[in-house]
Amino acid sequence: MRKPAWFFAMPRQSLLVLLLLAATVLGARLLGSRADESVQSTAVNSLPVYPESESRSLHSMRFVNAPIIDGYLTEWPRIESIELNRNTCYYFSGRVDSLDDLSASIRSGWDEQSLYLAIQVTDNILIGGDSVDVWRDDSVELGLDGLYDQYPWGRDDHQYTLVVDGRMADRGVPTTSLMAKVQEVTGGYNIEVKIPVAELMAGTPISGTVMGFTVGLHDDDDGDNWDAYLIWEGPSTSSTPELFGTLLFTERPEDRLIALEARLIKLERRLQELLAILKEFEQVSPLQ
Ligand SMILES: [Ca+2]
Ligand SMILES: [Ca+2]
Ligand SMILES: [Ca+2]
Ligand SMILES: [Ca+2]
């Protein structure tokens, strides 16, 4: 690549100062990150490592390795979960005979690109595909207020429906934005879903990001319309984000360390690139 004239005209001292400045800026950014890490570590450490889900909030755990979206949940750690049933829900309609009839366990994880959910639904009779409307069959609804602004109609707001037969919708309209897989199991079905962060917020989440969140469960045991509907937090999964619970993005200190190491490797590569440029400059332009 040809270098501009000013590059050759630049005295060696100035060039070294420039490189030093670049290294200082990169170092400062890294140290800043470390400072942030320290503050955030304190926040994380003040929480139990894997607490039971408290009312109205679920901790979403940072994943170093993204789960494979195949409906099998064996790679998911035993992290905090929401236990959703007729006794724990905020809203309930219809008839639920027992926990075997309708209940669910929900876990969540995240990385910089995606939000992940593992949903294990207990439902003794599975009905999918007999109704056109996704909410009239066995299905899970995820209500998300990505910006946590408690306004329900922004681009950050979604009501994703995942049906036992694999259909996916956003506010009842079929969507291809998600990656999800359903596996029927004895006594119910499991769903593994990956939601692009870009659907929910600008930029990337960090430990400490908060989103409005709730989960709904529809049960159909005899075809036609649903028989029961329950919601974790709020009377609706689409229009009442002010009554949603929250999803709290967090990470374990050991995962934070792995992420920091990856950033250090990146920084080292960038410094190597700068040094290579300096070496090339010295070879091309004799310095005073
Ligand atoms: Ca999996
Ligand atoms: Ca919103
Ligand atoms: Ca059912
Ligand atoms: Ca139905």
User: Span 54-80, mean pLDDT?
Assistant: 92
How far apart are the CA of 190 and the centre of ligand 4, in A?
Answer: 19
Cα 152 off chain centre by: 19
Contact 80, 52 (CB under 8 A): yes
**What is the third-level CATH fold of 51-251?**
Immunoglobulin-like (2.60.40)
Which ligand is nearest to the Cα of residue 238, counting in written order?
A: 2
Report, as an integer, the average pLDDT of 189-218: 97
Other CB atoms within a 10 A radius of the CB of residue 273 amount to 10
Q: Which residues pair with 115 in a beta bridge?
A: 110, 195
**Confidence tier at 23 by pLDDT (50, 70, 90):** low
Give CA–CA dist 215/102, Å, rounded.
13
**Which listed ligand is nearest to 152 at the C-alpha?**
2
Q: Are residues 137 and 165 in contact, defined by beta-carbon separation less than 8 angstroms? A: yes
- Distance (Å, rounded) from C-alpha 167 to C-alpha 175? 9
Quick one: tokens of 131?
A: 């109704």
DSSP strands (E only) in the chain: 57-62, 82-84, 91-94, 103-110, 114-122, 139-145, 157-163, 168-170, 173-174, 179-185, 188-196, 210-219, 228-231, 245-250
Q: What is the pLDDT of residues 160-172, one digit of tens each?
A: 999 999 999 999 9
Q: What is the pLDDT of residue 148?
A: 97
**Which residues 6+ apart lie within 8 Å of 230 measured at CB?**
84, 85, 86, 89, 91, 92, 93, 96, 102, 216, 217
Distance 139 CA to ligand 1 centre (A): 19
**Would you state the structure tokens that stand for residue 188, as one six-digit string?**
């119910």
**Model pTM?**
0.75
Question: What pLDDT band is residue 42 in, cutting at 50, 70 and 90?
Answer: very low
Identity (one letter) of the amino acid at 158?
Answer: H
With a pLDDT cut of 90, the percent of the chain lying above it is 72
Nearest in space to 262 (alpha carbons), one of 69, 67, 65? 65
Average pLDDT along the chain: 86
**Span from the CA of 81 to the centroid of ligand 2 (angstroms):** 24
The angle at the Cα of 89, spanning 85 to 90, to the nearest 5 degrees, equals: 165
Q: Looking at residues 85-95, what average pLDDT do you find? A: 94
Share of the chain above pLDDT 70, in %: 80
Kindly give the distance from the C-alpha atom of residue 117 to the centroid of ligand 4, in angstroms, as a whole number: 24
- Residue 287, pLDDT above cutoff 60: no
pLDDT of residue 232: 97
In the structure encoding, which two tokens stand for residue 279, read together? 């070496």
Residue 138 has pLDDT above 70, yes or no: yes
Cβ-contact 51, 80 below 8 angstroms: yes
Tell me how far the alpha carbon of residue 69 lies from the centroid of ligand 1, in angstroms. Answer: 5
156 CA → ligand 2 middle, Å: 5
**Which residues are within 8 A (CB) of 256 and not within 5 positions of it... i.e. 6 or more apart?**
37, 40, 41, 44, 62, 207
Q: How open is the CA angle 230-47-36, to the nearest 5 degrees?
A: 115
The 3-state DSSP class for residue 182 equals: strand
Tokens for 25, please give them.
């800026």
Q: How confident is the model at residue 31 (pLDDT cuts 50, 70, 90)?
A: very low
What DSSP designation does 134 have?
G
33 CB burial (10 A radius; 0-12, 13-18, 19+): middle
Closest ligand (CA of 122)? 3
Per-residue pLDDT tens digits for 225-250: 999 999 999 999 999 999 999 999 99
- For 230-248, letters b (16+ CB in 10 Å) and e give bbbbbebbbebbebbbbbb
Amino acid at 16: L
At 256, is the pLDDT very low, low, confident or very high (cuts 50, 70, 90)? confident
- What letter represents residue 164's amino acid? V
